[in-house]
Amino acid sequence: MKYLFSLLITFTIFNLCAQQTPAPEQSQPISIVGVTAHIGNGEVVENAIIVFENGKITQVSDVNKAQPKGKVIQAEGKHVYPGFIAPNSTLGLAEIDAVRATRDEDEIGTFLPHIRSVIAYNAESKIVESMRPNGVLMGQITPRGGRISGTSSIVQFDAWNWEDAIVKADDGIHMNWPRSFSRSGNWYDTDRRYEINKNYTKQLDELHTFFDKSKAYYQSDDFNRNTVYEAMKGLFNGEKTLFVHVDAEKEVLDLLAFKAEYNLENVVIVGGAEAHRVANEINAANVPVLLQRVHSTPNFEGDDYDLPYKLPKLLSDKGILVGLESSGQMERMNTRNLPFYAGTAVAYGLDKKEALKMITLNTAKILGIDDFAGSLEIGKDATLFISEGDALDMQGNRLTHAFIQGGEISLESHQTELYKRYSNKYNHKIDE
């Protein structure tokens, strides 16, 4: 009986994890004709033609200025966008929150820069698969936990395994900045209070000690290799980015001082719930922000009820390079709503072209992949999709085609299969 139960569990997990077969490499030129092209850099080309060959974009222009090549997709009245990019994501690192064996986003320890999240990435995740029908085609796979969580990598969402998925390996190290205060009680308590973190200074000292040792190792000629400090080298020579998860005003200011002290070239704020309070200082330090999930509630009672909706515009108006991320409660499932976070920011004053940049080119720049991703420009990867309407709107975001590096991918998922199954059961007509 025990054997049969184990076999049943294995079979169930196998079925939960099976994804469609990845698309083959592009074998002929493809031309999208008559479409409205949202380039991703703030430009929009009406009645456009987009041609891509061997996985790369070779033509973006008015339809009257170029001839179609190869397979032609007539897309009059539709819209084409660069694939949306989800930064700071644990996609593929956990599948079922209630099943511990499927969660691998956190390692034991405090300072873990040498831990590579990508080797735990499950390319056949059912949740990853569900990103694609909404246009989310790439992501930064990020570890959690500890003071320094580990190293992230950037992947595309149509692959056999993590090696095939990688588009940029080990792009950055993620650090959780100490909190200067904490909140007492449980989330449902009505008398919760904010309390000063008495260990804040001690925790900062520990960070300084670790970075001092890491920098000394970087500058040393000692050949005794230390795996932990070795992973930190990229921060001091500019090859890696330090992604700092930080929210409060004081903590952001302390981070900016920390950046200057260690002469860190590439630092990104992740979260930034109070970044608007020190926006001028952030801009002066030339630090981008991967802004917290727009669909959130304010952190403090005195905040405007709609502050999270307005934050993208508030920071953008200050000249800060802003991208949107979706960490938080049920973050993996909610990542598919990334385009609608941008759409909400538009409803609260942000220009639509700027909102699109926050999930395409801005994010690509922050992650250091804008040379091949983030916009529909000649020479970049043909990672893009066609939508029947406005992809930042829930009603308009209806994909008809999607491509990753030129390969046409399936837009089916467990959810679409169930939708069709039960629509047929009740004889409801399905719009194809």
- Within 10 angstroms of residue 333's Cβ, the number of other Cβ atoms is 14
- CA 406, distance to chain mean position in Å, is 21
Q: Which of 61-70, 166-175, 193-202, 238-247 has the lowest mean pLDDT?
A: 193-202
Average pLDDT over residues 144-155: 96
In a domain, 350, yes or no: yes
- What kind and span of H or E run contains 322? strand 322-324
Whole-number pLDDT of residue 187: 60
Under 8 Å between Cβ of 386 and 32 = yes
Q: Quick one: 177 and 286 in the same domain?
A: yes
Under 8 Å between Cβ of 244 and 255 = yes
Q: Which residues contact 165 (CB under 8 A, 6 or more apart)?
A: 118, 121, 123, 155, 156, 157, 159
User: Has residue 13 got a pLDDT over 80?
Assistant: no
SS3 149: strand
In a domain, 209, yes or no: yes
Q: Quick one: 310 and 416 in the same domain?
A: no
CATH number for 33: 2.30.40.10
With CA atoms as reference, report the closest residue to 327 among 145, 120, 78: 145
Q: Quick one: 226 and 353 in the same domain?
A: yes
CA quadruple 200, 205, 211, 215: dihedral, nearest 10: 160
Average pLDDT over residues 286-298: 94
Q: Does 45 or 182 have the greater pLDDT score?
A: 45
SS3 274: coil
In a domain, 235, yes or no: yes
In a domain, 171, yes or no: yes
Q: Does 311 or 432 have the greater pLDDT score?
A: 311
C-alpha to C-alpha distance for 31 and 72, rounded to whole angstroms:
5
- What kind and span of H or E run contains 384? strand 384-387
- Within 10 angstroms of residue 299's Cβ, the number of other Cβ atoms is 16
Residue 105 tokens read as 């986003």
User: Has residue 1 got a pLDDT over 70?
Assistant: no
C-alpha to C-alpha distance for 132 and 126, rounded to whole angstroms:
11
In a domain, 93, yes or no: no
Q: Quick one: 362 and 262 in the same domain?
A: yes
Query: Which tens digit of pLDDT belongs to each residue from 208-264?
Result: 999 999 999 998 877 788 999 999 999 999 999 999 999 999 999 999 999 999 999
Under 8 Å between Cβ of 362 and 353 = no
Q: Quick one: 344 and 402 in the same domain?
A: no
Q: Quick one: 398 and 341 in the same domain?
A: no
Which residues pair with residue 73 across a beta bridge? Answer: 32
Q: How many domains does the chain have?
A: 2
- CA 58, distance to chain mean position in Å, is 26
Q: Quick one: 363 and 392 in the same domain?
A: no
Q: How confident is the model at residue 188 (pLDDT cuts 50, 70, 90)?
A: low
Domain that holds residue 57: 17-82+384-425
User: Has residue 11 got a pLDDT over 50?
Assistant: no
